[in-house]
Amino acid sequence: MAAISLKNVVKDYRAGKTVTQVIHGVNADVTDGEFVVIVGPSGCGKSTLLRMVAGLEEITAGEIWIGDRIVNDLEPAERDIAMVFQNYALYPHMSVFENMAYGLKIAKVPMDEIKARVDKAAKILEIGPFLTRRPRELSGGQRQRVAMGRAIVRQPKVFLFDEPLSNLDAKLRAQTRLEIQKLHRELGITSLFVTHDQVEAMTLAQRMLVMNAGVMEQFDTPEVVYNRPATTFVASFIGSPPMNLLRQAPNAAHGGPPGAILGIRPEHLLLGNTGWPVKVETVELLGAERLVHARLGDEWLTIRTDEATAAPAPGSTCHATPRPDRLHWFDATSGRRIDTP
């Protein structure tokens, strides 16, 4: 195992005299054995960052360390990493065993050791009964486990996951998330996992690195990112539904800085007879909870309630009160968090 350190990592693409910077000086230290999720919307640079760690993309400036080595100029095979892709990348003409063993055979590992490693990985991933099958005979979830098994048998210092669950349906995604958590507990290998799905990020990460347009917005535990978002982008991206961000809220009444943006999570708004008068537009029933979508003046507001709270009728006016201990303030120009006394 090994730590990963990104030191002012920059990536430019050049076309003639035109230079487009897509990664803007990322600094992050991943500790030995840590599971870090890189999350952000499409086009934010998260996969580019992962591919630079893997050696599949050259970096323009900065340093990438794996363990005690700068790996900027090392080929992927020299970095002691194993990568799991979203499209599985299995050889269709090979059996599951042959797919998992292929890299070890190329490395001229003795056959008895290959068999021992494959059998151990197959047991961990519960794919032992499928070792003689071809990929076409497997479900999507089973193919993804084979791809993970191929990475495990290499016994790398670092696992890199590039949106490995994106081709699975919702049920399989949830099941495979649990398998990945179990796998990390058993192996303890340093892991970087890329996803655009903030639910995956929240449930898998020990720490999460939130990317936006090539910039690292926040790098912290899921609890801190959710409860103390560093920017309005993080506040609006992490959480389902996202945090309400109000530019016309009565700040003085809540002790906020003049002109600041007020943030409040939907579950921290309470319906009652007093508070902000809001006009209900729609109500979503989601089993044990309801989402009330309303307008406060010209701004949208989402309120999460439980099944015990009577849902207001669309078109009606009700009142919502924010919990005073759950208010967030952001600078209206920079979007950065403002910590009040």
Looking at the fold, whether 187 and 315 belong to one and the same domain comes out as no
Instruction: Report the pLDDT averaged over residues 3-15.
Output: 95
Can you tell me whether residue 245 is helix, strand or coil?
strand
- Give me the domain span that covers residue 35: 4-235
Query: Which of 119-128, 146-155, 182-191, 261-270 is predicted most confidently?
Result: 261-270
- Sheet strands side by side (includes 4-15): 18-30, 4-15, 61-66, 69-70
- Element housing 84 (H / E): strand 81-84
* pLDDT per residue as tens digits for the range 92-130: 999 999 999 998 998 899 999 999 999 999 988 889 999
- φ and ψ at residue 202, rounded to 5 degrees: -65, -35
Question: Among 236, 208, 212, 209, which residue's Cα sits nearest to residue 222?
Answer: 208
pLDDT at 89: 82
Looking at the fold, whether 127 and 45 belong to one and the same domain comes out as yes
Q: Which residues are CB-contacts of 77 (< 8 A; sequence separation ≥ 6)?
A: none
Instruction: Report the pLDDT averaged over residues 22-33.
Output: 96
Can you tell me whether residue 247 is helix, strand or coil?
coil
Residue written as token pair 């910077």: 21
pLDDT at 332: 93
Confidence of residue 253 (pLDDT cuts 50, 70, 90): low
Contact predicate 276/321, CB 8 Å: yes
Domain end, chosen from 235, 268, 283, is at 235
pLDDT at 250: 64
Domain end, chosen from 235, 270, 296, is at 235
* pLDDT per residue as tens digits for the range 31-58: 999 999 999 999 999 999 999 999 999 9
pLDDT at 133: 95
What burial class does residue 193 get, using C-beta atoms within 10 Å of its C-beta: 0-12 exposed, 13-18 middle, 19+ buried?
buried
Q: Is the pLDDT of residue 76 over 80?
A: yes
Looking at the fold, whether 177 and 230 belong to one and the same domain comes out as yes
184: domain CATH number is 3.40.50.300
Q: Is the pLDDT of residue 60 over 70?
A: yes
* pLDDT per residue as tens digits for the range 166-217: 877 888 888 888 888 988 998 899 999 999 999 999 999 999 999 999 999 9
Indicate the number of domains in the chain: 2
pLDDT at 32: 96
Looking at the fold, whether 169 and 254 belong to one and the same domain comes out as no
Looking at the fold, whether 259 and 213 belong to one and the same domain comes out as no
Looking at the fold, whether 246 and 217 belong to one and the same domain comes out as no
Gap between the Cα atoms of 133 and 99, Å rounded: 10
Helices (H) and strands (E) in the chain, counts: 9, 19
Can you tell me whether residue 108 is helix, strand or coil?
coil
The region of weakest confidence among 13-27, 197-211, 253-267 is 253-267
And the tokens for 147? 């791809």
Please provide the average confidence, as pLDDT, over all residues in the chain: 91
330: domain CATH number is 2.40.50.140
The pTM of this model reads 0.90
Residue written as token pair 């890199």: 160
Domain end, chosen from 218, 235, 252, is at 235
Instruction: Report the pLDDT averaged over residues 313-338.
Output: 93
Q: Quote the percentage of the chain above a pLDDT of 70.
A: 99
And the tokens for 12? 């430019």
Looking at the fold, whether 202 and 246 belong to one and the same domain comes out as no
pLDDT at 86: 80
Contact predicate 86/144, CB 8 Å: no
